Amino acid sequence: MLKLKNDRGTIVIEDEVIAGIASVVASNCFGIAEMAAKNMSEQIWAFLKKDRKDKGVQVSCENNSVSIDIHIAVLYGVNIPAITESIAHKITYSVSEYIGFPVEKVNVFVDSVITK
């Protein structure tokens, strides 16, 4: 959770909001087949609730900077190093623009390759 205090009060940005932004940005990138579950409990939860926006994203906030881990499945035939670098760059830029706090790092984990 990020907090910003000013003369009018406090602004709080929850980790789930940041995860949702990162998930939407990554989902719109070329070559992404789907967001992958980051652990088994998230995979079970995904069966129960289909509309989760933060699937496969874990956010940690320390000292008003953000670190993001994102798990994805890519399409067969894409250049994996190029696509992961592109995703990390787009997430870093978009999240920092939307929330106004720096993104320290984005770790992209390719959990699987999907064929059509």
Q: Is residue 36 part of a domain?
A: yes
Q: Looking at residue 36, what DSSP letter applies?
A: P
Q: What is the pLDDT of residue 54?
A: 72
- Could you tell me the CATH number of the domain that includes residue 71? 3.30.70.1350
**Section 59-64 average pLDDT:** 91
Q: Is residue 49 part of a domain?
A: yes
Q: Is residue 72 part of a domain?
A: yes
Q: Is residue 98 part of a domain?
A: yes
**35: β partners:** 72
Of 31, 109, 106, the residue nearest 72 (C-alpha): 109
17 pLDDT exceeds 90? yes
Burial of 67 per CB tally in 10 Å (0-12, 13-18, 19+): middle
Residue 31 is part of which domain span?
23-114
Of 52, 72, 58, 67, the residue nearest 102 (C-alpha): 67
CB contact at 8 A, 36 and 111: yes
Q: What is the pLDDT of residue 87?
A: 96
pLDDT band at residue 108, thresholds of 50, 70 and 90?
very high
Q: Is residue 99 part of a domain?
A: yes
CB contact at 8 A, 74 and 110: yes
Q: What is the pLDDT of residue 53?
A: 64
Q: Is residue 16 part of a domain?
A: no
How many structural domains are present in the chain? 1
Q: Is residue 35 part of a domain?
A: yes
Range name among 38-47, 64-73, 86-95, 107-116 with the lowest pLDDT average: 38-47
Which run of H or E residues covers position 45? helix 40-48
Q: Is residue 4 part of a domain?
A: no
